[in-house]
A = this chain, B = another copy of it.
Amino acid sequence: MTVPPGRRERKKAATRQKIADTAMRLFLERGYDAVGIRDVAAEADVAVTTVFSHFASKEALVFEQDEDFEHRLTQAVTGRAPDEPLMPALRREIHALVRHCTAEGAAPTWRMIEESPALREYEESMRLRHAESLATAIAADPDLPQTTTACRTIARFVIDAYSLAREAADPEAAVDEIFRMIEAAWEVASPSRRARGTARAATSR
């Protein structure tokens, strides 16, 4: 797993990495809009078509490091301890993800994304795809007998928590604040778990 089997795949991975590194360097140096794909290709010494054979779009170059986001979220659901409830596991993972993207070194990249409408749009769309994966993972858990709609809803809420907390003044506190809300929503959606009417009574109008 650490060493790719063949030389061909190693070279391919190296090319991909070189393109991604070159792109991010140029983007941070000159600004995302000021750097064209042709610039990236020239600086990485590859053809424009090669860039697009590795990355589906210019925006994808920026979010290459965000690739495992989806996997970490689903893993937090499917790989949690057998007796651990869903919400604490998700909350812990979101905490870690928020901490990761609000860390010192990530600031320039994050500012660049904030300032580019194209990058914001791309990320939003990407997060919704992640939410769908998360919803599938939640729905597949035999211990969580939710409706499909409830699973998709909670998954969206979790993604919302990530997006909103990242922009909050105190991201860590925001995660907790939002997750208190999500947990209440989750309790309402799972009347058969252990709630003895408490959650339902809280929402009866």
Interface positions of A (Cβ within 8 A of B): 88, 120-122, 124-125, 128, 147-150, 152-154, 156-157, 160-161, 163-165, 168, 174, 177-178, 180-189, 195, 198-199, 201-203, 205
Contacts and interface: CB of A to CB of B under 8 A. Distances in A.
B160 A184 contact: no
Interface of chain A, main secondary structure = helix
Q: How many copies does the complex hold?
A: 2
B125 A153 contact: no
Nearest to A120: B125
A165 B153 CA distance: 10
Contact of A125 (B124, B147, B149, B156): B124
Contacts of A153: 160-161, 164, 177-178, 181
A88 B204 CA distance: 12
Contact of A150 (B149, B156, B161, B181): B181
A167 to B, nearest CB: 8
B198 A189 contact: no
Contacts of A120: 125
Given A128-B124, A198-B201, A202-B195, A147 B184 contact: no
A142 to B, nearest CB: 21
A177 B164 contact: no
Contacts of A122: 121
A164 B178 contact: no
A180 to B, nearest CB: 5
Contacts of A198: 198, 201-202
A184 B203 contact: yes
Contacts of A182: 185
A187 B160 contact: no
Contacts of A154: 181
B199 A189 contact: no
